[in-house]
């Protein structure tokens, strides 16, 4: 069996609220293999987003470790961690994090530019991804000119631009109608295979 692309060992995450310590995650251990498709489900406030942030190196666990590429994320330098996140991880956040002054196409291209990818290839891939998420005719619109569902699809295309080894999506269909949500899930399954 090959090395997992991501491993979590006994993850704990607590928040100190002054008089109270809130333990959000307690002893989470998991291995994610290449090509594996996982879904986290649970009620609001149960730590799903927190776990995704830990897996993507956006936050540090209180204890335990996340291992990617054979190295603990907490042992990586800030530069190495940022490169790993940009090159190997695609994020779809609940709140999208689109840059308001960039149109949809420019938002999708941003991670590729940060990775110094070939401009022409990146441009073609970005346009293709936007077409696949149903936004071919909206790629030159600013985020403020797009609906919430359209913004979410831009965020998904942006997450996929660098062909990440790991895609972390926080409620990727949360703001989509059932038809578009189904199409996004179909796209994720297609890309996973």
- Complete DSSP assignment for 81-95: HHHHHHHHEEEE-TT
pTM: 0.85
Which H or E element spans position 25? Answer: strand 21-32
- Which two three-digit tokens encode residue 174? 């949360």
Q: Kindly list the structural domains of the chain, giving each domain's residue range(s) and its CATH number in brackets, ordered by start.
A: 1-76 (3.40.50.300), 86-193 (3.40.50.300)
pLDDT tens digits, residue range 116-170? 999 999 999 999 999 988 899 999 999 999 988 889 889 999 999 999 999 998 8
Which H or E element spans position 143? Answer: none
């Amino acid at each position: 069996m090959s090395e997992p692309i991501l491993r979590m060992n006994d993850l704990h995450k607590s928040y100190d609220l002054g008089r109270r310590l809130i333990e959000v995650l307690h002893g989470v251990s998991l291995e994610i293999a290449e090509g594996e498709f996982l879904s986290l489900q649970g009620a609001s406030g149960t730590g799903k987003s927190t776990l995704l942030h830990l897996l993507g190196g956006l936050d540090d666990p209180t204890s335990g470790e996340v291992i990617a590429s054979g190295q603990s994320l907490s042992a990586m330098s800030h530069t190495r961690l940022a490169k790993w996140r940009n090159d190997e991880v695609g994020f779809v956040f609940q709140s999208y994090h689109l840059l308001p002054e960039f149109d949809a196409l420019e938002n999708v291209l941003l991670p590729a530019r940060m990775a110094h990818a070939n401009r022409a290839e990146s441009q073609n891939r970005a346009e293709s991804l936007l077409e696949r998420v149903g936004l071919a005719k909206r790629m030159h619109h600013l985020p403020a000119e797009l609906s919430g569902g359209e913004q979410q699809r831009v965020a998904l295309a942006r997450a996929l631009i660098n062909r990440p080894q790991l895609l972390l999506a926080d409620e990727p269909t949360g703001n989509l109608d059932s038809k578009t949500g189904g199409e996004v899930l179909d796209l994720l399954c297609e890309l996973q295979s």
